[in-house]
Copies of this chain bind each other. A is one copy, B any other.
Amino acid sequence: MTELAPGRRSRGGGGAARRAERTAVRIEAARFIERNIPVMDLFSDEALDIIEANAETVLEEVGVVFSDNPKAIARWKEAGASVDGDRVRLPKGLARTLCATAPSSYVQEARNPERSVTVGGKTLVMAPVYGPPFVRDLDGVRRYATMEDFRSFVKLGYMSKWLHHSGGTVCEPTDVPVPVRHLDMLQAHMVLSDKPYMGSVTDPSRAVDSVAMSEVLFGPLEGRTVTTSLININSPLTFDGTMMGALEIYAEAGQACIISPFIVGGAMAPVSVVGTLTQVLAEVMVGVAYSQLVKPGAPVIFGTFVTSIDMNSGAPTFGTPEASQILYGAGQLARRLGLPFRSGGGLCGSKLPDAQAAYESANTLNAALMGGVNFMLHSCGWLEGGLVASLEKFVMDADQLGTLHRMAAGVASDEAAQAMDAIREVGPGGHYLGCAHTQAHFKEAFWRSEVFDNKPFETWEEEGARDTQALARLRVQQLLERYTPPPLDPATAEALDAFVARRKEEIGTT
Contacts and interface: CB of A to CB of B under 8 A. Distances in A.
Given A237-B428, A446-B309, A266 B407 contact: no
B313 A454 contact: yes
Given A412-B272, A417-B274, A351 B460 contact: yes
Interface string A267-296: 111111111001100000000000000000
B420 A278 contact: yes
B271 A317 contact: no
A152 interface: no
Interface stretch (A98-106, A250-258, A374-382, A432-440): A432-440
A507 interface: no
Interface string A291-320: 000000000000000001111111111011
Given A270-B438, A359-B361, A423 B58 contact: yes
Nearest to A441: B271
A314 B351 CA distance: 35
Contacts of A272: 412, 416-419, 437, 441, 445
Interface string A399-418: 01001001100111100111
A423 B275 contact: yes
Interface string A324-356: 110001000000000000000000011111111
7 contacts: A38-B42, A266-B442, A268-B432, A270-B423, A358-B362, A359-B362, A384-B457
A465 to B, nearest CB: 7
A172 to B, nearest CB: 16
A158 B199 CA distance: 54
Contacts of A482: none
Contact of A447 (B322, B426, B445, B453): B322
Interface string A33-46: 00001101111001
- Residue from A58, A314, A426 whose CB has the most chain B CB atoms within 10 Å: A426
A80 interface: no
Given A270-B432, A406-B322, A468-B350, A47 B448 contact: no
| Integer count of this chain's copies in the complex | 2
B429 A311 contact: no
Contact of A410 (B42, B271, B471): B42
A492 interface: no
A420 B57 CA distance: 9
A265 B403 CA distance: 17
A420 B59 CA distance: 12
A465 B363 contact: no
Contacts of A43: 411
Interface string A50-68: 1100100110011111000
Contacts of A387: 457
A454 B348 CA distance: 10
